[in-house]
Amino acid sequence: MRVTVSRKAHFNAAHRLHRADWDEAQNAAIFGKCANEHYHGHNYELIVHVTGTIDPETGYVIDMKVLRDLIKSEVEDALDHKNLNIQVPEFKSLIPTAENIVVVIYNKLKSHLNTDQDLEVELYETPRNFVKYTGP
CA gyration radius, the chain: 17
81 as an active site residue: the answer is yes
| Residue in the shown chain whose Cβ atom is closest to Ni ion | 34
User: Please, what is the end-to-end C-alpha distance for the chain in angstroms?
Assistant: 24
Looking at the Cβ atoms of 122 and 125, the one nearer to Ni ion is: 125
Handedness of CA 120, 125, 131, 136 (dihedral sign): negative
Interface positions with Ni ion (CB under 5 A): 34
Looking at the Cβ atoms of 34 and 61, the one nearer to Ni ion is: 34
Looking at the Cβ atoms of 65 and 128, the one nearer to Ni ion is: 128
In degrees, rounded to 5, the angle at the alpha carbon of residue 123 between the alpha carbons of residues 7 and 106 is 75
34 as an active site residue: the answer is yes
- Least CB distance from residue 135 to Ni ion, whole Å? 25
User: Which residues are designated catalytic?
Assistant: 34, 81, 125
